[in-house]
Amino acid sequence: MPSPQRTLFSMSTRVCGAMILSIPLCALVAQADVFSDIKYTDLVTRLGAATPTGAGIGIGHVEAPENAGGSYAPDTTLVEFSGKTFSLLSGTGLAPSGHATEVGRNLYGNTGSIAKGVTSISNWNVNPWLTSVYLHVGQGAAVVPATPPVGVKVFNHSWIGSFGNATNDNDGLRRLDFAIARDNLFMAVGTNNGAGSAAQPLLAYAFNNITVGLADGNHAAALTPAGLDGPSRRKPDIVAPGLFTSYATPIVGAAAALLFDAADSDPAISANANANKALTIKSAIMAGTTHRPAWSNGAPTSGASRGISTAPLDPIYGADLLNIDRAHRIFTGGEATAFAAPQPATFTRHQGWDYIPTVLSNTSAYWSFRLNQGVDEVSVAASWNRQVATNFTTWNMQDLDLRLWKLQNGVLVSITGDAGASSFTSGNCESKSSTENTELLVLHGVAAGDYVLELHRNTGTQSALPVVVSWYMPNTTPSPDLDGNGTVNSQDLAILLNGWGAGGIADLNSDNVVNAPDLAILLGAWGAVL
């Protein structure tokens, strides 16, 4: 069966005709199953009419031309796209692209997308987008990438290709990463179809994007090759359902649009500018994935190195399967505040994130968590961008590590090695890659107790840039004995009142805020010996 993935070859507009796929075959995907697989149905069940739709978020839809006529835009006359406004930025009057139509269904379609509220779409042919109108690859330091149309926050790239040499490919990747960081963009990029195939350089091997593979693993998963920046990095970053990566990629782009909408409309985070950062959304999506039984980032299962991973992602599935319900829970859990030292009594909510503008060289940031009962899984992701020089000749990147500690009597206790088996049954409690701009912790069977998460920046001369750490763990039921002395009394009341209006240990009903319902729970247990 031919793959529908659009391919750019050596800066030309030529595409392989055998790669064109008919619309009816594309439509065989059961969207209800996709919505269930990515937990969108769970999100809708939980939120109902308050479910974000991507309303108000602009989309950049970039396609390789489908035929000799240069078709690159979807069939805008379809009911699926009723109410949408398309800006055709690479020419008008062309026949619709069947490939672009199917990508558009998943990206912003009225029935096929989880971001059906998106109404503003900017469309490009990838060849001018790369060279003459947007990235300006190969045009030197004097010409920087263009800025996106007003309102565009998410780009989708369901195409693959190469300029045929590492110099131009690297220039394209650097310019992409530069534009993402400068303009606060989320870019979803597809990798090749076909397990065991070698991924094309553009754009899968960028740093600041999110590269998408298939949930069934039938995609290219080769390490970044020598000759490109950052060799030996793992790709893809995440997977999603689909017949081909062309149709999995826009599902991830739509998830980003949904979260950007939440950043604008959800009262829990709408006043926080850091929620409107693409890096925050990327981190929440990476931390919120469903980790299936086959997923592993290679941490040893026994011995002194048990729980220590030097590669944060699974070699095939990346961070694994998109879970928009978890990502939304993390995102709307809101921003926490890191501490410069471990805190033995100030605990953070179980779903949330922290946007950290600067982590100084050889320093750490800490968050404390209390698990009142054991949980099936704890997932944490840290994400940051690489910094590309404005002349595109050099780049640098911070080296950061993640580690989870047990907190006992106010002292950090390592849970690496075989001794950590009493704290978690499998997974990794350390993530310490020296090449990636993501670190990921995934622990299964985590015992009740107090824990401290550490983000450490290793010694180096790199520029200090923002880092976002996001975490997901199931809510546990706190005890009203907040100080742990065995009795519910005035000391516990003081702790609750001190945390009023925030989240943390005194959030007794797990709604992410300490308020009157929590006070009622505490007063209801007053004087009890626990």
Using CB atoms within 10 A of its CB, is residue 91 exposed (0-12), middle (13-18) or buried (19+)?
Answer: middle
The answer to whether 155 and 134 have CB atoms below 8 angstroms apart is no
Q: What are the pLDDT digits (tens) for 56-98?
A: 999 999 999 999 899 999 999 999 999 999 999 999 999 999 9
Q: What is the pLDDT of residue 314?
A: 98
Q: How far is it, in rounded angstroms, from Cα 263 to Cα 11?
A: 37
Judged against a pLDDT cut of 60, whether residue 4 lies above it is answered with no
pLDDT band at 9 (very low <50, low <70, confident <90, very high): very low
The answer to whether 360 and 337 have CB atoms below 8 angstroms apart is no
Does 409 fall in a domain?
A: no
Query: Whole-model pTM?
Result: 0.91
Structural domain boundaries enclosing 230: 31-265
How many structural domains are present in the chain? 2
The answer to whether 215 and 321 have CB atoms below 8 angstroms apart is yes
Quick one: which H or E segment has residue 77?
Answer: none
Q: What is the pLDDT of residue 485?
A: 87
Which CATH number does the domain housing residue 100 bear?
3.40.50.200
In eight-state DSSP terms, residue 318 is B
How close are the terminal C-alpha atoms of the chain, in Å? 64
Q: Please tell me whether residue 421 adopts helix, strand or coil conformation.
A: helix
pLDDT band at 235 (very low <50, low <70, confident <90, very high): very high
Q: What is the pLDDT of residue 462?
A: 81
**Is beta strand 438-446 parallel, antiparallel or unpaired with respect to 351-356?**
unpaired
Does 71 fall in a domain?
A: yes
Judged against a pLDDT cut of 50, whether residue 25 lies above it is answered with no
The answer to whether 460 and 361 have CB atoms below 8 angstroms apart is yes
Q: What is the pLDDT of residue 10?
A: 36
Which CATH number does the domain housing residue 482 bear?
1.10.1330.10
Which residue, of 230, 265, 300, is where some domain finishes? 265
Which residue, of 243, 265, 287, is where some domain finishes? 265
What's the sign of the alpha-carbon dihedral 44, 46, 48, 53? negative
- CB neighbours of residue 494 within 10 Å: 12
Q: What is the pLDDT of residue 504?
A: 74
Does 385 fall in a domain?
A: no
Which residue, of 265, 296, 324, is where some domain finishes? 265
Q: Which two tokens stand for residue 147?
A: 């800025």
Nearest to 514 by CA among 498, 501, 523, 526: 501
Does 319 fall in a domain?
A: no
Does 116 fall in a domain?
A: yes
- In the chain, pLDDT over 70 holds for what percent of residues? 94
Q: How far is it, in rounded angstroms, from Cα 529 to Cα 508?
A: 17
- CB neighbours of residue 434 within 10 Å: 10
The chain-wide mean pLDDT, for the chain, equals 92
Does 427 fall in a domain?
A: no
Q: What is the pLDDT of residue 266?
A: 97
User: Which segment of 37-41, 442-446, 496-500 scores lowest on mean pLDDT?
Assistant: 496-500
**Is beta strand 85-88 parallel, antiparallel or unpaired with respect to 120-125?**
parallel
Amino acid identity, position 498: N
Does 442 fall in a domain?
A: no
Q: What is the pLDDT of residue 484?
A: 81
Q: What are the pLDDT digits (tens) for 385-402?
A: 999 999 999 999 999 999
All residues at 6 or more sequence positions from 201 whose CB lies less than 8 Å from its CB, including other chains = 161, 162, 166, 169, 172, 173, 225, 228
- Kindly report the backbone phi and psi dihedral angles of residue 520, in degrees, each rounded to the nearest multiple of 5, phi listed first: -65, -40
HSE-up (13 A, CA, CB side) for residue 395: 22
pLDDT band at 506 (very low <50, low <70, confident <90, very high): confident
Q: What is the pLDDT of residue 460?
A: 85
Does 307 fall in a domain?
A: no
Q: What are the pLDDT digits (tens) for 244-300?
A: 999 999 999 999 999 999 999 999 999 999 999 999 999 999 999 999 999 999 999
Q: How far is it, in rounded angstroms, from Cα 501 to Cα 499?
A: 6
Q: What is the pLDDT of residue 5?
A: 55
